Amino acid sequence: MAPQKTLQAFLATARAALTAPPSKRSTPLHFVVGNESADLDSLCSALFLAYFRSHEPPHTLHIPLCHLPREDLALRPELAAVLRRAAVAPDDVLTLSELPPPGPDGLLRPEDTRWLLVDHNVMTGALGRTYGGRVVGCIDHHEDEGKVPRDAAPRVIEKAGSCMSLVVEQCAEAWDALAKTDDGGGSEDRRVINEQLAYLALGPILIDTNALGSKDKTTAHDERAAAVAEAKIRSVSSVSVSGSGTGTDNETKEIIGPDLKRFFDEVSALKEDISGMSLRDILRKDYKEWTTAEDNDDNEGTGLRLGMSSVPQPFAFLVDKAGGEEAFVRELERWSASKGLDVTAVLTTCKAAANGGKFSRELLVWARTGPEVAAAVKRFAERNGKEKLGLGMWGDGRLDAEGGGSWRRCWTQAEVRNSRKQIAPMLRDALKGV
């Protein structure tokens, strides 16, 4: 086992490898990358997995890549908060802005790369079009789309509230071994390093499971991973996994100790505070995109384009920020046109104080480019709207519209257990063949 580095030192090594002149670059380069939404779970999972894959035999350097341009890091203050606990700054991480362009003549050739996916099991977008054939493994908690080879290693696709929980389980043995390694350094230094890594792991686990208190999201994977990470923290805070995941979303104080409760509250508040952002920034903060060409293995075509934004505030907030329903629709149209979307979806979440802090969801779907696309989105609503999603009219239909090949509906969503992980496959399935 190689000597243990701080996360910051590891990222400096990864940066040096990625930015080295082509003549001095060791190939193939191994990357770990999360999905296009680049949420806290994707970003932290990529950092954590790359760190331990690099430290364990055969000690192949894995470069963690944040799946977003550098300028978009500013839209994720919750990531900065978690990184601070790991003694890392946003400037230390690597983004798409640092990835050399693909091509010959000494640039980054696809054949000189290997890609390990976290928090998704299909490489989409520009990365997918260039490097999709170089995927060698994945760790994910979404629906298995069958694109990662069955003999890939690792190939872990299981239900969990947080992908990080699956990553921690995969790395737990190496983490324990590394934490106990006598490499000539001080044991106190190792304790500090592993406490920092524990906060990196606990950030997304706590956020994605509501501090292990969400009965709909928390699984045994999340409980075990939280216990593994918490054991590396020296403070008196503790995670009591017995009975976790069985209470309501308001029982966090009974599940985690005071230090982790403060950590969770800090990160959660930053994640949900979008008050200072423009509507465009809100829509792109947590955004994912798919094409039907990807679903149909059509490497030559472009297909229909579906984009989905997740927003931690209700539509009433978005409408008020825009200056009314008409202004909101105009802004949403500009955003959709800029992305070339055939179908736009916006999913909101909220814990309204006026509603006793009860968790709620809303959904808007807009078919924009013709009657066939509109018919497909109507099929989505007919197949899934009542029983699977519990959809009801939002705001007396003030955001609904149809005509001229366009069809838009905004709903309340009673079945709050279904998030983008479930809704995206439903929409994509309805769009197949259009």
Residue 84 sits in a domain whose CATH number is 3.90.1640.10
* Domain annotation covers residue 77: yes
pLDDT in tens, 118-158: 999 999 888 998 999 999 999 999 999 999 999 999 999 99
**In a domain? residue 91:** yes
Angle in degrees, 0-180, between the axes of helices 220-230 and 163-180, rounded to the nearest 10: 30
Q: Flag whether 274 is in a domain.
A: no
Q: What is the average pLDDT score of the chain?
A: 90
Same domain for 343 and 229, yes or no, is: no
Given a contact cutoff of 8 angstroms between Cβ atoms, the answer to whether 346 and 287 are in contact is no
Of 127, 151, 139, 153, residue with least CA distance to 60: 153
| CATH code where residue 389 lies | 3.10.310.20
DSSP 123-142: --HHHHHHHGGGEEEEEE-S
Q: How far is CA 245 from CA 57, 158, 236, in A?
A: 35, 17, 22
Specify the range with the lowest mean pLDDT, choosing from 103-107, 225-229, 377-381, 419-423.
Answer: 103-107
Whether the predicted pLDDT of 58 surpasses 70: yes
| pLDDT value for 246 | 41
Whether 224 and 96 share a structural domain? yes
Predicted local confidence at residue 433, as pLDDT: 83
Both tokens assigned to 383: 């197949």
288 and 347 both lie in a single domain: yes
- Residue listed under structure tokens 């479930």: 422
The pLDDT value recorded for residue 182 is: 60
Cβ–Cβ under 8 Å, residues 160 and 222: yes
CB 163 within 8 A of CB 222: no
Give the mean pLDDT of 41-67. 96
DSSP 372: H
313 located within any domain: yes
Global model pTM greater than 0.75: yes
263 shares its domain with 348: no
Do 301 and 400 lie in one domain? The reply is yes
* Model pLDDT for residues 180-195, shown as the tens digit of each residue: 876 555 578 889 999 9
Name the nearest CA neighbour of 214 among 242, 271, 255: 255
Residue that the structure tokens 């009965």 belong to: 215
Residues 423 and 369 in one domain: yes
Tokens of 4: 């243990």
Are 366 and 254 contained in the same domain?
no
The candidate with the shortest Cα–Cα distance to 232, out of 48, 368, 31, 46, is: 48
- In the chain, how many domains are there? 2
116 with 40, same domain: the answer is: yes
- The answer to the question of residue 201 being in a domain is yes
Of the residues 234, 269, 304, which one is the last residue of a structural domain? 269
Of 242, 269, 296, the domain-final residue: 269
- Residue 44, pLDDT above cutoff 90: yes
Cα torsion 319, 320, 321, 322: sign:
positive
* Nearest alpha-carbon partner for 362 in 322, 403, 398: 398
pLDDT digits (tens, 9 = 90+) for 207-256: 999 999 988 899 999 999 999 999 998 643 444 444 444 444 444 435 67
Contacts of 390 (CB under 8 A, 6+ apart): 413, 414, 415
Q: What is the pLDDT of residue 124?
A: 85
3-state secondary structure (DSSP) of residue 427 = helix
Structure token digits, residue 300: 């030559």
Q: Which of 269, 291, 310 is the C-terminal boundary of a domain?
A: 269
In a domain, 202, yes or no: yes
- Based on the fold, state whether residues 117 and 245 are members of the same structural domain: yes
Domain residues for the domain of 357 are: 279-431
Residues 139 and 235 in one domain: yes
Q: Establish how many alpha carbons lie within 13 A of residue 15's alpha carbon, considering only the half-sphere containing its beta carbon.
A: 14
Q: Quick one: which of 90, 46, 65 has its CA closest to 201?
A: 46
Contacts 24+ apart (CB under 8 A), 347-355: 347/308, 347/309, 347/310, 347/311, 347/419, 347/420, 347/423, 348/310, 348/311, 348/312, 348/313, 348/314, 348/315, 348/318, 349/310, 349/311, 349/312, 350/312, 350/313, 350/314, 350/317, 351/249, 352/314
| C-beta separation of 239 from 260 below 8 A | yes
- DSSP type of residue 5: P
Provide the residue type at 232 as one letter: K
Q: Where are the alpha helices (DSSP H) in 181-287?
A: 187-208, 220-230, 252-255, 258-272, 279-285
Both 25 and 158 in one domain: the answer is: yes
Q: What is the DSSP letter of 103?
A: S
Domain-located, residue 1: no
19 inside domain: yes
143 and 184 both lie in a single domain: yes
